[in-house]
Chains A and B, each alone.
Chain A
Amino acid sequence: MAFVTANWNPLGESFYRKIELYEMGWNLKDGLRECLVAAAPYGGPIALLKGHYRRSPSARPQLEIYSSSGLPLASFPWKSGVVKQLGWTVSDDLLCVQEDGTVLVYDLWGGFKRHFSMGNEVSQSQVLETKIFHSPYGTGVAILTGALRFTLATNIDDIKLRRLPEVPGLQEAPSCWAVLTQDRQSKVLVANGSQLFILDNTACTPVTPPGLSPQASSIVHMCVSFSYKYLALLTDSGHVWMGTSNLKEKLSEVDTKIKTPPKQMAWCRRPKSQQPSAVVMWDGLLIVVGECKETIQYHLDDDSVLVPELDGVRIISGTHHELLQEVPGACEEIFKIASMAPGALLLEAHKEYEKESQKADEYLREIKEQSLLSEAVRQCVEAAGHEHEPETQKTLLRAASFGKCFLSNFPPEQFVSMCRDLRVLNAVRDYTVGIPLTHTQFKQMTVQVLIDRLVYRKLYPLAIEVCRYLKTPEYQGVSRVLKHWACYKVQQKEESDEVIAKAVSVKLADAAGISYSEIATKAYESGRTELAIKLLEFEPRSGEQVPLLLKMKKSPLALSKAIESGDTDLVYTVVMYLKNELNRGDFFMMLRNQPVALSLYKQFCKHQEQDTLKDLFNQDDDHEELGNFYVKASYKDQRLEARVALLQSAVDEYYKAKNDFSAKTTEDEMRLLRFQRKLEEEKGEQLVGFSLHDTMTTLLSVGLHKHAEQLYKDFRVPDKRFWWLKLKALAEKEDWEELEKFGKTKKSPVGYLPFVEVCIKHHNKYEAKKYVSKVTPEQKVKAHLAVGDMEGAAEAAIERRNESEISTVLSRCSATTDHLLMERLNRAKATAVKK
């Protein structure tokens, strides 16, 4: 523990430390000499292109990819053109920019993914220099061509090439340049001698860094901070100017006293940095400059590369991998020699406690007296996050935990999540994994992305462990990892379909929300249709199965899956697809085997394709439906002949369907139509389209009694109904004479109460009374009441000794006029009740 500060160097107000991350696992004969190197930020992979300077076809350069700890991931001879620059995308893909402006994209494992061109202009005038940069829009590529023009693509996944305006007076390659992201735009900052320009889409604007030392005649190097907020310039006089990247403010200027051009320069900042600082590297020497005149100097044994990070700079050499950063505030407070910060005291207290010394209490008391204990705990937890050594982390966390015991209501979340985070970080920092993330980087990157990266490196078990440990929802965590695993698995050509399908299903069995169709698509894309079908069996979402099955030309299966889903729209989609793909016969056959699809298709045809509907019924010998079809069609036609013909077809079909009732009824309908037509022609009465009932009513109302009678007989209309019909029609006409005649033709099958009622309905009390006497005894009371004869009604009711009838009459009596009647009724009622 005493050595925590051993690697600390003071610079101005703060300290810098250099931590060894790894001793590199690779075995490079010449170190990084003569190598093109690219290391991805956030502890990403490292790509090396060895011997790319030698341009003989016999000795091909070798492209090698390593993890941050130097473990080999891929290695292959470079067979394409001359590479000018290597770089990594935000999703850990390797970009190789060739001299001719072609950019080749490889995955982490050296697998070729795709290529794209930076445009004709670039390929004609060749690439002079190139820079790969990251912005909120993705990974971009900037190229300086042989014609001294800049071409830029902000996002390689959605390439929109932009050629920037010319830089005035530029005769040869600029001394240095950098890409900036400002105001949602990628710009290029170019130095030509002592002149500085900003290039954006439309203009080239000269700019001056405020307060740049006058001794300088040329800017030889520049670098932009990770966040694009700050800019550092190195002049030929050896001065480092640091300021904001919008060139509005100068932060400091330091003389390095070295005038040779450096190999690399990078910002060395962290969020909440105490001072601006940059790292400049020459052969064998590394200098950290800040605000003060002094600098920190490190000796370098070996050729190295600087990798700027969010919170420091990584230094990769042939043998080592180190992190240089400003010591975070919390660590400084705790570990600075003779610090009296609460965290430092708590750490001390805990140490004494472990030694079982009473001093522990004294320290604790001191903190508590200032009521700084929660601050102390917070400091220890935070510092633990910034420490790389698990031992140091543990010491700090133990101290924090110890301090927590003396606090009530201290929220535990920060402590708990720090413990979890550190466990994950220590796991991924492990040499075998080789992702040296700091806690700050981890928080910026998010767990999701970390899991993606682990998956990308095929570290599936670790990824799953991390998900489970951090309790990531299964859907976004474990299931996603397993899906990637399965996608990888199905591409393993050496294993049989059965083995893979089984392995996948066993592993994924109880994982929630797995998209098997994605896995199956992968299998199909790698030419394994059978495996794809097997995998699709596991897909619970039919909506996902169907499109792929159609793509694989497995239409019967697609159809049954669509039906299984219950999603009728999906069924329709397949049916319509099949309709276009198959010939009509096959199409109908396939539908025949799938009743659900068939009935849906019939629905569709009913609205859209009447003729197809007929064909379908014909195919199934569905005579009943064919009959209905013709009946429906008959109503669509205006011409009588056509209607009758269609109805005849319907009759034929109904007979074939052995539906005699429908056949006979339809024949009746034809008969009626013909009759109506005939009468229309003869008598000029509008009849076609009327029901039999309405036809007869019309005939009666115009006095064509004979014809009505004829229909009554021909169509065997029940007596009752005909009587009702006729008496209503006559009453409507107020043909009372005819009504009376009709009433006397024979005994009415409906009785005579209806006669009374229709008369009353047409306000003819006189006629109504004629029929009252003929009404059956049961209906007498009603009849009398209908004509308003209270006496008669009372008489009838009393005679029948029917209590409810008596009550009915009573309820109709008015107390003033029918006084006597009511008395009689009440008496009768009393006797009726007794009985």
Chain B
Amino acid sequence: MASHLFCGRVNLNILREAARKDLREFLDKCSGSKEHEVEKMFTLKGGRIPSAAVKNIVFFVRPRLELMDIIAENVASEDKLHPRDFHILFVPRRSLLCEQRLKEKGVLNSFTNIDEYILDLIPYDGDLLSMESESSFRECYLESDQTSLYHAAKGLMTLQALYGTIPQIFGKGECARHVANMMLRMKREFAGSHTQILPVFDTLLLLDRNVDLLTPLATQLTYEGLIDEIFSITNGYVKLPPEKFAQKKQGEGGKDLPTEPKKLQLNSAEELYAEIRDKNFNAVGAALSKKAKVISAAFEERHNAKTVGEIKQFVSQLPHMQAARSSLANHTSIAELIKDITTSEDFFDSLTVEQEFMTGVDTDKVSTYIEDCVAQKDPLIKILRLVCMQSVCNNGLKQKVLDFYKREILQTYGYKHILTLKNLEKVGLLKPQSTMRNNYPTIRKTLKLWMEDTNEQNPNDISYVYSGYAPLSVRLTQVLARPGWRSIEEVLKMLPGPHFEERQQVPTGLHKKRQPGENRTTLVFFLGGVTYAEIAALRFLSNMEDSGTEYIIATTKLINGTSWIKSLMDSPEENLP
């Protein structure tokens, strides 16, 4: 089931298995038996829990007070005649505050078991871990609530317990510093209690999202990035409009088109997807048609199969070939859906403006394009993405320009968005230009953030993921590996937050003896979220010949510009937390 976790350099299945074991142990405690038949799963909501013929009810919750109130309501309205056993499993950590809350509500004693399920980093793919902590960026930068960073540090400790101490820690940004401090502190706490393991990771790089606010704002142009931008990938699944996936069976002639969205799992266990996910979308068509030829050639083989042995051989490969064929069909459909959008004029215009901003064209005045989009009341998030991007690329907007945009937005989309705009200002996505010089061009030039001659088909640089723009975060990672951050000291100073290096003592005897030609392994942790395009860029670096470093990626949350901006919005009309 979890074959996609095996394929990377680091076997993340160890982490998954450890987490599964913990869960099983908890369930053992609840039911008192070895059988863990889960009868039904419900999403947490107020009122009485729907009936189900079960003995045990387990609440899997994040430790948040709002949720405690719902649970209390659930428990209080339970049928007294047929009591069931209640259990709470806090993910990823117990909270005294929440337990206190349950106590105040008078339901704490109704729980047979209260425990924590330490699941900080969830393996998403062979090289990808995510905490899926939705509001992490908002909490850290807007609300000064660093809870998610504490969980991140704990998660890294768990990781080190399973994969050995990481000897080198680099970081950039306030949050990175905070996480590193906590890790070093926790190391002292855990000292001696760990069995000693040969380190799997050589380096940990902690990066604050606010060091690179630009990248998530840009439209991702890799296959996977575009799927996420357009259809949004949640927990490794994507829901797609069903029309293109109608099974064309003979005789039916597409009579009944499916109405339910088509749900697909996306990870590297699917051979074809692994191959094309990180390609620039413009290179996907060619890859798909090549694959189509290979598959039909494979099916043609059957005509060559003469002997019984050959036929048997062919038949044994059939399931694999059929899976490949249906995978190809799916991705062809997805690519068509995406192509409809990427070839539209709207998409093209918006991308052109983005690229102008990123190359520093006219970033200091009101953009006619944005103005027109507002006038036509395009989706607010699209506007916000563009305005923020302009602000970031210009190191702040002239007061007059900024006020103009703000007025335009408030008049068009409603005054309530004043709070959202303030949030964006608070996290630095929008800001008035200070007296300081605009240093974005310097950063762009030093880090080569814009590459003129990007090759989308056979890329030789990470800039292919945005068709020209090389994500700043990944450039920092790349420079760190070679030639080192010392070479870009000046630029690092321009970016927010401190940069640092820490070393953790590895017991003698556990020092890695690297075989000649063996790559280093670096864990890059994006605090505040990472986009699929950035992941693609890091994978590209891992696979580059003689890059010397392989990357494993960890993050608080997989994001894209839309979900990111959304997380920062405040809508006072709804009772949102």
Contact = CB atoms under 8 A, between A and B. Distances in A.
Contacts of B520: none
A569 B193 contact: no
B145 A607 contact: no
A724 B97 contact: no
B419 A666 contact: no
Chain A interface residue bracket vs B: 35 or more
A473 B193 CA distance: 8
B411 interface: yes
Contact of A596 (B144, B190, B414): B144
B410 A569 contact: no
A599 B144 CA distance: 6
B174 to A, nearest CB: 12
Interface stretch (A166-174, A353-361, A380-388, A712-720): A712-720
Given A566-B149, A720-B375, A721-B408, A693 B193 contact: no
Nearest to A647: B415
A721 B192 contact: no
Nearest to B376: A724
B129 to A, nearest CB: 20
B412 interface: yes
Contacts of A3: none
B344 to A, nearest CB: 14
Interface stretch (A18-26, A237-245, A628-636): A628-636
A213 to B, nearest CB: 51
The 6 closest A-B pairs by CB, nearest first: A512-B192, A599-B144, A724-B375, A513-B192, A691-B414, A635-B572
B134 interface: no
Interface in A599-625: 599-600, 602-604, 607-608
A665 B406 CA distance: 10
Contacts of B375: 720-721, 723-725, 750
20 contacts: A512-B191, A513-B190, A513-B191, A540-B189, A566-B153, A568-B146, A569-B63, A569-B94, A596-B146, A600-B144, A604-B65, A631-B416, A632-B419, A635-B572, A636-B572, A662-B422, A691-B414, A691-B415, A693-B377, A750-B375
A693 B412 contact: yes
- Which of B192, B406, B410, B577: most chain A CB closer than 10 A? B192
B73 to A, nearest CB: 16
B188 to A, nearest CB: 4
Interface in A529-569: 540-541, 564-569
Given A628-B419, A691-B415, A665 B153 contact: no
A339 interface: no
A567 B411 CA distance: 42
Interface string B134-153: 00000000011111011001
Contact of B411 (A599, A635, A691, A723): A691
Contact of A692 (B93, B143, B412): B412
A230 B118 CA distance: 49
A691 B413 contact: yes
Name, among B100, B145, B153, the residue most crowded by chain A CB atoms within 10 Å (CB to CB): B145
Contacts of B419: 628, 631-632
Nearest to A570: B96
B415 A666 contact: yes
Contact of A573 (B97, B153, B178, B190): B97
B239 to A, nearest CB: 29
Contacts of B150: 566-568
Contact of A569 (B93, B182, B406, B408): B93
Interface string A624-668: 000010011011100000000000000000000000011001101
**What is the interface residue range for chain B against chain A?**
35 or more
A572 interface: yes
Given A566-B150, A576-B97, A541 B189 contact: yes
A540 B188 contact: yes
B407 interface: yes
Interface string A559-603: 000001111111011001000000000000000000110011011
A215 B66 CA distance: 81
B39 interface: no
A302 interface: no
A150 B100 CA distance: 46
B158 interface: no
B565 to A, nearest CB: 18
A661 B144 contact: no
B403 interface: yes
Contacts of A600: 144-145
B422 A628 contact: yes
B143 A603 contact: yes
A607 B65 CA distance: 8
B379 to A, nearest CB: 14
Interface string B177-221: 010011001001111110000000000000000000000000000
A666 B192 contact: no
B572 A632 contact: yes
Nearest to A572: B97
A693 B573 contact: no
Contacts of A325: none
A255 interface: no
Interface in A694-728: 694, 715, 717-718, 720-721, 723-725, 728
A697 to B, nearest CB: 9
A588 to B, nearest CB: 17
A608 B416 contact: no
Contact of A566 (B66, B146, B193): B146
B372 A724 contact: yes
A513 B406 CA distance: 55
Interface string A464-479: 0000000001110001
B412 A566 contact: no
Nearest to B190: A513
Contact of B95 (A569, A595, A665, A690): A569
Contact of A665 (B144, B410, B573): B410
Given A513-B191, A665-B410, A721-B374, 7 more contacts: A475-B193, A511-B192, A541-B189, A566-B181, A567-B150, A569-B147, A573-B100
A479 to B, nearest CB: 6
Contact of A603 (B145, B181, B416): B145
B255 to A, nearest CB: 29
A669 B93 contact: no
B65 A728 contact: no
A541 B185 CA distance: 8
A360 B57 CA distance: 75
Contacts of B411: 691-693, 715, 717, 721
Contacts of A288: none
B324 interface: no
Contact of B418 (A576, A662, A728): A662
A661 B415 contact: no
Contacts of A564: 185
Interface in A167-199: none
A569 B97 contact: yes
Nearest to B152: A566
Nearest to A632: B572
A718 B94 CA distance: 54
A410 B39 CA distance: 55
B78 interface: no
A672 interface: yes
A622 B371 CA distance: 34
Nearest to A543: B189
Nearest to A477: B192
Contacts of A541: 189
Contacts of B143: 599, 602-603
Contacts of A628: 419, 422
A568 B145 contact: yes
A835 B20 CA distance: 69
B65 A665 contact: no
A315 to B, nearest CB: 44
Contacts of A572: 95-97
Nearest to B143: A603
A691 B406 contact: no
Nearest to A511: B192
